[in-house]
Amino acid sequence: MELDKKNIKKQSTSIVDNRSNSVNPQSFSKECSDIISFETLISSHLEKRRKKVVDYFMNSSKDHAAIVMSTIFRESRNHIRIFAEDLAGPISSNDNYRNELLSFILRDGKLDIILQKKSQEEDSMVHLLLQIKGGKVLNKYSNNININYTSEKCKLGKFENVHFCIGDDSMYRIETDTKKFLAQCSLFDSTIAGVLINKFNNISTNN
């Protein structure tokens, strides 16, 4: 499967002016405007989802990634699958990400996670999930969470190491560049979601 990257825009403007170590108002305004525009884009794709229109869009920053993931968590009702490095980075530390994932668990949703390494961060998302899994908190939901580890990388098309999330067999985010947070996403595409589910299950079986 070849992923279309032509619409990915690189974000190179920082909201902090390094020379003065102070907030750059112009850059900050641009950043806020960008987030609002992206949330508007998400809203349009949610409308397409409700009309069962297959479509996809790109994201190219950690802020956009957190918005996409939070949306997938919020819209999912039954099953979320995540293949990631460690759930201890800037995306999974986002408050909306955490709150929406916990809300999904509290809705009695099933969460399957495969990670490429263990996190030592006690405030990481995976640490909280392990506490739930171990019955230390919210023990009512402990059987709904599965967390496994692998040394395997997931290859998809020309991309050698992708991370991905699948929500309810029809939503997904495929991160093809884990350093720049470049990803292809869809809120309604059961075909590609099915490909990712097969990838996830194969990795799970091999480990």
What does the pLDDT profile of the chain (207 residues) look like in tens digits? 445 434 333 322 222 233 233 334 344 344 445 788 899 999 999 999 999 999 999 998 999 999 999 999 999 999 999 999 999 999 999 999 999 999 999 999 999 999 999 987 778 899 999 999 998 889 999 999 999 999 999 999 899 999 999 999 999 999 999 999 999 999 999 999 999 999 999 999 887
- The count of other CB atoms within 10 Å of the CB of residue 207 is 11
SS (HEC) of 136-158: CCCHHHHHHEEEEECCCCCCECC
Q: What's the whole-model pTM score? A: 0.83
The CA distance from 163 to 153, in Å, is 9
Task: Report helix, strand or coil for 17.
Answer: strand
By the 8 A CB rule, do 194 and 169 touch?
yes
